[in-house]
């Protein structure tokens, strides 16, 4: 049986936006960390001191290497690990549920290279039951017994990329194990480098808690998106409405409308819960499906509103030069996963608009099967465009400067308070 000790070796499978910061936090408390990654190019870059994640610099990787970190694509390296944490992607599959192929492949690799007594922890976001019904059988397939040969738990990732306030160590960690002993082993491990560890009653409760967190955001974003639409039709300033409601010190949390939802969690995770409810219980999770319908309609709404604004100044959307500002899914990072800028661009192109883009964090934008280069000179592009659309409010944007140079400025994020700027 493996004890939690100062010389513990940990393998983190998946060195992306979840796994790499997690590995950094482990290195900082003296754990020996193996960053397992199947992409040889990523392994070579990390071992050469080069980062591919927004929140970590090359200097951070160099520090980790000095602390004993190493990246590897060799499955045999997992045999040294007392703890193995699986942080692989779970995108949506064609049927609307999670695509578990990466989880299954990673678990299979672990099963073939498992140190006796090791603790295995899944962090990938998925539907309730995955740890018990998918991961556990794979680990046990060759006769290994849970509670003797290995211990299995689930701890959902709660990474907030680009956040200046919350990171691995100060974000509470949920932990649920297949057994009470597995829960305790996983929790004791995370307590090495996380300030607050919350023990859950089981794996399914921990899995469902993560989905509830993001479903809550998904539904509330849909609420304000729908309010933004009818407030516009009623001649009501939605941003003033939100400002007023947000002064209430209890019973209200501020959410704001936008051109859609993006990122690795909000547009995807609630679907896991909806998928499992429908598959297992045979009925719909109607809140999630309605929220998805509303949020997915926002890019088309942005296109419609922009068409109306151009029409008011005597221009058709067809043939107009439209400059899109900010194409990442959240401010001040380069991550473009599920960015609403992509469906907005698709809508505008279908209406025959001539689109260009600027984003301080993105030089080349791969959008709708093509590639656009960032405009070379922002000031010139602002002046030459028929309309400028703010899709992401990066802090480096001087919105007054932009508004002074744009012929028509449509702010979908409500970042500007000027009367001559059109807001969603």
Q: Which residues are catalytic?
A: 265
Q: Tell me which residue of 114, 113, 112, 134 sits closest to 122, measured CA to CA.
A: 134
CA dist list (Å): 412 to 68, 195, 341, 354: 46, 37, 11, 19
CA dist list (Å): 267 to 299, 326, 341, 367: 14, 18, 14, 18
Q: Tell me which residue of 210, 168, 157 sits closest to 193, measured CA to CA.
A: 168
Instruction: Tell me the C-alpha distance between 48 and 57, whole Å.
Output: 13
User: What tokens were used for 305?
Assistant: 């509103």
3-state SS, one letter per residue, for the chain = CCCCCCCCEEEEECCCCCHHHHHHHHHHCCCEEEEECCCHHHHHHHHCCCCCCCCCCHHHHHHHHHCCCEEECCHHHHHHCCEEEECCCCCECCCCCECCHHHHHHHHHHHHCCCCCEEEEECCCCCCCHHHHHHHHHHHCCCCCECCCEEEEECCCCCCCCCCCCCCCCCCEEEEECCHHHHHHHHHHHCCCCCCEEECCCHHHHHHHHHHHHHHHHHHHHHHHHHHHHHHHHCCCHHHHHHHHCCCCCCCCCCCCCCCCCCCCCCCHHHHHHHHHHHHHCCCCHHHHHHHHHHHHHHHHHHHHHHHHHHHCCCCCCCCEEEEECCCCCCCCCCCCCCCHHHHHHHHHHCCCEEEEECCCCCEEEECCEEEECCCCHHHHHHHCCEEEECCCCCCCCHHHHHHHCCCEEECCCCCCCCCCEEC
Q: How many residues in total does the chain contain?
A: 424
Are 58 and 50 in contact, with CB atoms under 8 Å apart? Answer: yes
């Amino acid at each position: 049986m493996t004890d939690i000790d100062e010389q513990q070796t940990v393998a983190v499978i998946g060195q992306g936006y979840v796994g790499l910061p997690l590995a950094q936090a482990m290195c900082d408390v003296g754990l020996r960390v193996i960053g397992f990654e199947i992409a040889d190019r990523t392994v070579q870059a990390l071992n050469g001191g080069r980062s591919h994640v927004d929140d970590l610099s090359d200097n951070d990787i160099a520090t980790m290497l000095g602390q004993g970190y190493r990246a590897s694509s060799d499955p045999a390296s997992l045999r040294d690990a007392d703890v193995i944490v699986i942080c692989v992607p779970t995108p949506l599959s064609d049927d609307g549920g999670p695509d578990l192929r990466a989880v299954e492949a990673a678990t299979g690799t672990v099963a073939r290279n498992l140190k006796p007594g090791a603790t295995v922890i899944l962090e990938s976001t998925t539907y309730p039951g995955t740890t018990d019904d998918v991961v556990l059988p794979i680990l046990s397939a060759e006769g290994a017994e849970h509670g003797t040969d290995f211990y299995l738990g689930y701890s959902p990732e709660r990474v907030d990329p680009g956040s200046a306030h919350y990171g691995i160590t100060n974000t509470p960690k949920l932990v649920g194990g297949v057994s009470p002993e597995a829960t305790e082993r996983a929790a004791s491990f995370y307590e090495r480098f996380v300030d607050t560890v919350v023990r859950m009653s089981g794996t399914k409760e921990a899995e469902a808690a993560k989905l509830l967190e993001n479903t809550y955001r998904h539904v509330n974003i849909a609420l304000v998106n729908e309010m933004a639409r009818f407030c516009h039709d009623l001649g009501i300033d939605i941003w003033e409405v939100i400002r007023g409601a947000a002064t209430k010190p209890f019973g209200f949390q501020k959410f704001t409308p936008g051109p859609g939802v993006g990122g690795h969690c909000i547009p995807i995770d609630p679907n896991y819960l909806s998928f499992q409810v429908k598959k297992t219980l045979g009925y719909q999770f109607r809140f999630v499906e309605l929220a998805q319908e509303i949020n997915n309609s926002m890019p088309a709404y942005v296109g419609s509103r922009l068409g109306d604004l151009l029409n008011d100044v005597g221009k058709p959307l067809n043939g107009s030069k439209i400059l899109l500002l900010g194409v990442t899914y959240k401010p001040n990072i380069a991550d473009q996963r599920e960015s609403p800028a992509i469906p907005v661009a698709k809508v505008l192109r279908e209406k025959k608009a001539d689109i260009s883009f600027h984003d301080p964090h993105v030089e080349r934008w791969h959008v709708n099967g093509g590639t656009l280069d960032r405009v070379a000179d922002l000031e010139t592009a602002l002046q030459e465009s028929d309309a400028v659309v703010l899709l992401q409010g990066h802090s480096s944007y001087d919105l007054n400067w932009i508004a002074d140079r744009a012929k028509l400025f449509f702010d979908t994020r409500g970042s500007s308070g000027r009367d001559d700027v059109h807001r969603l």
